[in-house]
A and B are shown apart, each in its own frame.
Chain A
Amino acid sequence: MNPTPELVKDFWKHMTGVYNAEVVDKRDSALMNLIADGLSALGVTDKQAFLTRFTTTIGRRIYTPFEVGVETSLHSLWGQMVICPHECQHVAQLDEIGELQFEARYLISSMARAEFEVAGYRCNLEMDHWRYGKIVDVHELAGRLRGYGCSSAEISVAERMLSIAALTVNAGGVVSEAFSVAKLWLDMYAGELREPFLS
């Protein structure tokens, strides 16, 4: 069974409520356009990809390249659910180390950026494992960091980190804080999304 638009909206409402975060449409944001120009000039990422593919969290604002609950060719409804704990995990990181340090390290160090994103990707991995009972391709997941200006060596470390998380998840562990919050809600309200053999 696939998620309904209402389910996706309810999930986002719950998660952003827990993390005291706000959803903003990225395409309408002048700030996001400015950042896209800056990142493009620095060679970190392509402007169009930044605006249409990536969800971005700054502070407690989550800028989405889609309207939550409205499926697009780039963002399926399940994809929108997967990205939600990922971004909430960034809010959790911000709460843990402080906004200034989080933003500074994210912008200045590509290794730190890889480390922060791995924490988000662990949520992706756990979300898909929750639904399908399988581990996603961690090589592909880590490879997405190329779009964040990370080097091959950094991507290799990221892949190793995700492989380690996969072992824990396969053993029944819940690794990410944001996924642990998501899982409580999903188990209660979205159990029908899981593969029948998992129920």
Chain B
Amino acid sequence: MRLVILLALLVSCRTVRCPVETTRCRGNIVEICDTLGRWITVEDCDKVSKQSSGEFTCRVPPDAKDAVCLPK
């Protein structure tokens, strides 16, 4: 029984790591997977929009592999 509980705890505590260096759009934020397997922010496209003269959105351009903030 103790073994079952211990295994259940180990499974529930296991964190899901992302593939290092992959990128994605989370809402309007560009994220990259760091070497620890965590998603970290690269660019906040809303912030870029406020600081620039146009509106920027997070997307993966055709024929590219990375998410990026680009003009709408």
For the complex of A and B, 9 pairs with smallest distance between CB atoms = A174-B51, A180-B51, A168-B69, A174-B52, A173-B48, A153-B35, A167-B68, A173-B52, A161-B42
Instruction: Give the contacting residue for B35; candidates A154, A171, A172, A177; CB below 8 A.
Output: A154
- Given A163-B66, A164-B30, 17 more contacts at CB 8 Å? A111-B35, A156-B21, A157-B32, A157-B34, A160-B66, A164-B43, A164-B66, A167-B66, A167-B68, A168-B56, A168-B68, A172-B53, A173-B70, A173-B71, A177-B47, A177-B51, A180-B51
- B7 is an interface residue with CB less than 8 A from chain A: no
- A151 is an interface residue with CB less than 8 A from chain B: yes
Whether the Cβ atoms of B21 and A157 lie closer than 8 Å is: yes
Q: A157-B20, A157-B34 are in contact. Are A115 and B40 (CB under 8 A)?
A: yes
Decide if the interface of chain B is mainly helix, strand, loop or mixed.
mixed
Q: Cβ of A32: which chain B residues have Cβ within 8 Å of it?
A: none
C-alpha gap A157/B42 in the complex (Å): 10
Task: Report how many residues on chain B are interfacial, defined by Cβ distance under 8 Å.
Answer: 24
Binary flags per residue of A138-182, CB closer than 8 Å to B gives 1, else 0: 000000000000010110110011011101100111110100100
- Residue among B30, B67, B69 with the most chain A CB within 10 A? B69
C-alpha gap A157/B54 in the complex (Å): 28
Whether the Cβ atoms of B48 and A115 lie closer than 8 Å is: no
19 contacts between A and B (CB under 8 A): A111-B35, A111-B36, A153-B20, A153-B35, A154-B34, A157-B20, A157-B32, A160-B23, A161-B42, A164-B30, A164-B42, A164-B67, A165-B43, A168-B68, A171-B70, A171-B71, A172-B52, A175-B69, A177-B51
